[in-house]
Chains A and B, each alone.
Chain A
Amino acid sequence: MANSTTAPGAATAAAFDRRDFDWYVDKAVQAIVFVCGISAIIFVLGIFVFVTKEGLGFIVNHMNFHEFFLTPYWSPSDADDPEYGILALMAGTASVTGLAMLVAIPFSLGAAIYIAEFASGKTRETLKVLVELLAAIPSVVWGFIGLVIMNPLIIKWFDVPVGLCVLNAGIILGLMAAPIMTSIAEDALKAVPDRYREAAEAMGATRWQVTYKVVLPAAKNGLLGGVLLGVGRGFGETMAVLMATGHAVNIPNSIFDSVRALTATIAAELGETVVGGEHYQALFTIGILLFLVTFVVNLSADLIVRGIRKG
């Protein structure tokens, strides 16, 4: 009798500092996910440090800011007088990305509005899966399409000598960026609370009026963020652009001119350079520029999506 009343009391007192197996599992899991979590930051910083270290020698020793940013002559393999002007490369990237956005924005916005606001049931689910599949097509396949299908079509339709040009790469890049932009835009539309739609419909608004007057304004931050992420994607895309632009250093006068992109230049030339040489370092300087631009674009997209910046 006496034993049975004191024993539980003693056990309870002793239990306060007892650590069972689950306690160790919990601590271990916390430590592991912490390492995984911060490793992303470490990798990004590591890449940035590496790219900067490789490119810094050029910036400090050889780079002439005026020549680098404002002249269109890129001939780094000239033994006597190598020239490092990236204006034409920037123009190439900008023109292709710009055209790609002109293609992708209406496409992806329309697709997102259809999926989120008009389609229902099976149609919606099927379309969502298809859009995600499109986003997973490797960029070299898109480049192949540009090279083998678009190239002869452009030559035939527009009667131009070369079909590898701003138009070709712009369309390819636009189609590449559209699925991701569609997904993000659809998420933004879905995030608009349904009671807004219900309220507007109950007042006699049509589906399109609901979309145009209520849903799109409410989702504008998310939509803008999606567009910016698309821009970031276009800016950083390499393989498809390398294959479809024609890869000629040139400031384009029309959409039928061949151009060369910043990314494609690095991809095509890095293998032929002397490690640590001037040309090698110049390519890494382009890498720094690309890194900074995509970082800024993605960061502002992120901020806009979160609504920190209203507008």
Chain B
Amino acid sequence: MSAAPAAALLQPSPEYAIDTKKLNLWYGTFQALYDVDLRIRQGMITSMIGPSGCGKSTYLRSVNRINERLGYVRIEGSIDVMGQNIYDPGVELIQVRKQVGMVFQRPNPLPISIRDNILFSHRLHAKGGGDVHQGTPDEIVEESLRTVLLWDKVKDRLKRKATELSLEEQQKLCIARLLPVKPKLLLMDEPCSALDPKGTEAVEELLWELRGQYTILIVTHNMAQARRASEECIFMLMGKVVEHAPTEEMFVTPTHQETADYIEGRFG
């Protein structure tokens, strides 16, 4: 498949949005991921659970290569996103990050206006002639904010600083600003951990709305959230994937003892 990445791209819709093979990752001398093989189905919400330090965030962060900011990260293996290995030497980071949007644990809107936040990514990628939303800036802002159910709340204060919004609104904005560049994948690293229960519910509802249109991979500490808001679930432990199954199945009949122990709260 690596011989013909172009052909792979031509496939109308590969069944798997992410296909990870033998992924090993080191932070300096510490190995954080061991032989991770994961296939994430397209158009679904897949959640990742596991105790702190199990490697779930590390995996997530290597899917848009934001891990590499740290400088002391070494990676072996491959991650195919929509059929193409993003760790191929010829791959441009900027294109990967356009296709693979990321939402962080702590809402991180840029300290500019709401409107400029929405258009930030679009302005970066529209110049290069990439496949982005073709509307006028006003249309893009309205549509993106409507998608995340934020338009009615902020339409009168688009020029205000995004950092003045409530945390829940900030997090929705952080999702909305990814949409104008038409990403294939949305990665979310504990997107609700800074939110109160109402905000959490609102963001979960939003994820359900976006389902199908985007493939969503969400890391969570909250087992109930994984159960409510995802279709497939991955359990990781000590840098290894222990179990990957449809969510209902995993929570009702886990096949591994560790999974059962973790789900029932016996450790973690």
Contact = CB atoms under 8 A, between A and B. Distances in A.
Interface of A: 120-121, 195-206, 209, 213-214, 217-218
A206 B94 contact: yes
The 7 closest A-B pairs by CB, nearest first: A204-B97, A203-B121, A199-B108, A202-B102, A195-B108, A204-B94, A204-B98
B94 A196 contact: no
Given A196-B110, A209-B124, A213-B120, A201 B104 contact: no
Contact of A203 (B95, B106, B111, B124): B124
B12 interface: no
A110 to B, nearest CB: 22
Contacts of B110: 196, 199-200, 214
Nearest to B64: A202
A202 B112 CA distance: 17
Contacts of B178: 203
Interface string B145-169: 0000000000000000000000000
B108 A196 contact: yes
A69 to B, nearest CB: 43
A54 B125 CA distance: 65
Contacts of B97: 201-204
A204 B93 CA distance: 7
Given A120-B71, A195-B108, A204-B125, 19 more contacts: A195-B104, A198-B69, A198-B104, A198-B108, A199-B109, A201-B69, A202-B64, A202-B101, A203-B120, A203-B121, A203-B124, A203-B178, A204-B93, A204-B95, A204-B98, A204-B121, A204-B124, A204-B181, A205-B124
Nearest to A214: B110
Contacts of A120: 71
21 contacts: A121-B71, A197-B69, A199-B109, A199-B174, A201-B66, A202-B64, A202-B66, A202-B97, A202-B101, A202-B102, A203-B101, A203-B177, A204-B94, A204-B97, A204-B121, A204-B124, A204-B125, A205-B124, A206-B94, A214-B110, A217-B112
Contacts of A121: 71
A204 to B, nearest CB: 4
Contact of B66 (A198, A209, A217): A198
Contacts of A196: 108, 110-111
B120 A200 contact: yes
A196 B66 CA distance: 13
Interface in B173-217: 174, 177-178, 181
Interface string B68-104: 0101000000000000000000000111111001101
Contacts of B121: 203-204
Nearest to B109: A199
A214 B177 CA distance: 15
Nearest to A209: B124
Interface in B109-153: 109-112, 120-121, 124-125
